[in-house]
């Protein structure tokens, strides 16, 4: 039997039909903030937001727009996002063969999942993935940019930074593997308070300081794991874009923060 995880938030977080979705993603990528020419080294990892596209899509697009030059190299995307609906101890793989969006199906990377089978923190839970939006909203961007890739999706629940970093290291690979952490920043603060809180969070990420709390980022657990692994692999982060829902499509009394980061090798450490 071919098991497929169907889209849960198509038509709410992003357009529910193929052509309107393709048009919207293309528009956001075309309008994405372009980095300076000296900052275009191939990224190994991203942190990107996962709200509805009207709120955070352009921020996420600033990361995905960097993939153009390496689109034909990437064959595996390791995608981690926090659980919002179903509690999980550890990191959950979905127990399905593919994920689908209005743009088509993405094959789940069975080889990658098998490579994690020996790790006690990795569990199988279809339920953790069925309604989870944090992973799903990233998929249309990846489908648009990458001509062919397999997906290693993990819904992150109650786990330590070490447990997350161990999973990332197990699937680290080479230039054929991209790591994506899906997370928003602060939630439901007034505009000015959110700006202050999010700036502190951004500063911690740029220092590779993996002590974020869940009041700073809903995906603090996978972010902290990435920061730990980034230190070990000598990756350097850079901020690509930052805003909150008060800047994009919401009121300013209760906003959600968003930021996109790219992690790549520090040229000064390459010998």
Among 235, 198, 233, 238, smallest CA distance to 218 is for 198
CATH code for residues 19-30+42-269: 3.40.830.10
Domain boundary assignment for the chain: 19-30+42-269
Q: Which two tokens stand for residue 254?
A: 């209760």
d(Cα 20, Cα 18) in Å, to the nearest integer?
6
- pLDDT at position 39 is 52
Edge to edge, the sheet with strand 4-5 lists 4-5, 98-101, 104-107
Among 234, 12, 237, 235, smallest CA distance to 136 is for 12
Spans of the chain, pLDDT less than 50: 38, 40, 267-271
Neighbours of 173 (CB within 10 A): 16
- pLDDT at position 268 is 46
- pLDDT at position 23 is 98
Secondary structure of 23-59 in the HEC alphabet? HHHHHHHHCCCCCCHHHCCCCCEEEECCCCHHHHHHH
- pLDDT at position 1 is 86
Q: pTM above 0.85?
A: yes
147-180 residue pLDDT tens = 999 999 999 999 999 999 999 999 999 999 999 9
The four Cα atoms 208, 42, 24, 26 give a dihedral, to 10 degrees, of: 160
Q: How far is CA 54 from CA 13, 35, 137, 156, 162, in A?
A: 8, 22, 12, 25, 34
Q: Would you say the C-alpha torsion 110, 106, 128, 188 has a positive or negative sign?
A: positive
Tokens 């996420």 appear where? 60
d(Cα 158, Cα 75) in Å, to the nearest integer?
29
- At a CB cut-off of 8 Å and minimum separation 6, what does 73 contact? 42, 175, 176
* Crossing angle of helices 220-232 and 161-170, rounded to 10°: 60
């Amino acid at each position: 039997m071919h098991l497929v995880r169907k889209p849960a938030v198509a038509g709410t977080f992003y357009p529910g039909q193929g052509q309107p979705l393709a048009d919207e993603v293309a528009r956001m990528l075309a309008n994405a903030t372009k980095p300076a020419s000296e900052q275009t080294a191939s990224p190994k990892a991203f942190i990107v937001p996962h709200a509805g596209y009207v709120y955070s899509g352009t921020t996420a697009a600033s990361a995905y727009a960097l993939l153009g030059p390496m689109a034909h190299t990437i064959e595996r995307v390791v995608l981690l996002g926090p659980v919002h609906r179903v509690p999980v101890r550890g990191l959950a793989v979905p127990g399905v063969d593919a994920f689908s969006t209005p743009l088509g199906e993405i094959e789940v990377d069975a080889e990658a999942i098998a490579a994690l089978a020996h790790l006690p923190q990795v569990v199988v839970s279809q339920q953790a993935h069925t309604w989870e939006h944090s992973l799903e909203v990233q998929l249309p961007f990846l489908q648009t940019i990458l001509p062919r890739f397999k997906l290693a999706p993990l819904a992150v629940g109650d786990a330590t930074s070490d447990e997350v970093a161990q999973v990332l290291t197990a699937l680290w690979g080479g230039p054929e593997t991209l790591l994506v952490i899906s997370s928003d920043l602060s939630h439901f603060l007034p505009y000015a308070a959110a700006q202050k809180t999010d700036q502190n969070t951004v500063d911690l990420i740029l220092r590779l300081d993996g002590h974020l709390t869940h009041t700073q980022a809903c995906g603090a657990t996978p972010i902290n794991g990435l920061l730990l692994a980034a230190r070990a692999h000598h990756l350097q982060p850079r901020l690509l874009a930052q805003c909150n829902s008060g800047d994009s499509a919401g009121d300013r009394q209760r906003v959600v923060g968003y930021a996109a980061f790219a992690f790549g090798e520090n040229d000064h450490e390459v010998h």
